[in-house]
Amino acid sequence: MNDIPGHHLVYGTLTDYLTGEELTDTDDERFRQQLARFMVEEKGYEPGELEPRLCLETVFNKTYVKSTIDLTIRLDGKRVMILRYGPGSLVTRERSAVAAARLLEPACRIPLAVVTNGRDAELLDTATGGVLARGMEGIPTRDQLLAMLPELLFEPFTDPKRREKEERILNAFDLQVCCRGMSCPTPQAGK
């Protein structure tokens, strides 16, 4: 779910729906913008409740990977749900989304994750990895998520071995491989 320069048709620039920031205009970015608009205009979230483009960085076997969480929903001062966009099959995106939700907050696991290809979606329980709902209509509205909030568990996820396991999973799933079968050129850790 990472963008690698040179792998996308670039149309120029566009203005980010949430921040007003100028971004590179690609097909994937257009889907991300539609997703942000959908969350505000159809699901009822306030723009300030959506945090775009949060990143996690991992390094394993000398391989640096920067993973992007497209949207993070914050309600009542807590990060409650993440959304990750990626073209194609949703099932191949589930495990990395669960790993990202388990790692983003240093003190606890974010309870919900959504994977979407812009046309379909799955709502995931990040404790079990199970699918709670399918389809874009399965993404909770703001009111639905607020109603769910008292039942959601923000469990500590601080065990170093468990965190390392999730970091390895995220690193492996989000590693970009070029169409030629080699690793794509990515920035080195620390740069």
Q: Average pLDDT of 8-34?
A: 92
**65's tokens:** 């990977």
Output the pLDDT for position 65: 93
Residues near 145 by Cβ (< 8 Å), separated by ≥ 6? 73, 75, 80, 81, 112
pLDDT at 1 over 50: no
Please write the tens of the pLDDT for every residue from 70-82.
999 999 999 999 9
Please write the tens of the pLDDT for every residue from 2-19.
444 555 688 999 999 999
What one-character DSSP code corresponds to residue 48? G
Q: Which 3 state secondary structure label does DSSP give 38?
A: helix
Residue spans of alpha helices (H) in the chain: 27-41, 94-103, 142-148, 160-174
Output the pLDDT for position 43: 98
Nearest to residue 136, comparing CAs of 90, 68, 75, 93? 90
Looking at residue 141, its amino acid is T
Structural class in CATH, domain 12-174: alpha beta
| Phi (first) and psi of residue 11, to 5 degrees | -95, -5
Q: Which 3 state secondary structure label does DSSP give 136?
A: helix
Distance CA 88, CA 118 (A): 9
Output the pLDDT for position 5: 52
- Counting beta carbons within 10 angstroms of the beta carbon of residue 70, is it exposed (0 to 12), middle (13 to 18) or buried (19 or more)? buried
Nearest to residue 116, comparing CAs of 5, 1, 11, 23? 1
Distance CA 23, CA 113 (A): 24
Please write the tens of the pLDDT for every residue from 75-113.
999 999 999 998 889 998 999 999 999 999 999 999 999
Give the predicted TM-score (pTM) of the model.
0.87
pLDDT at 182 over 70: no
Q: Which 3 state secondary structure label does DSSP give 165?
A: helix
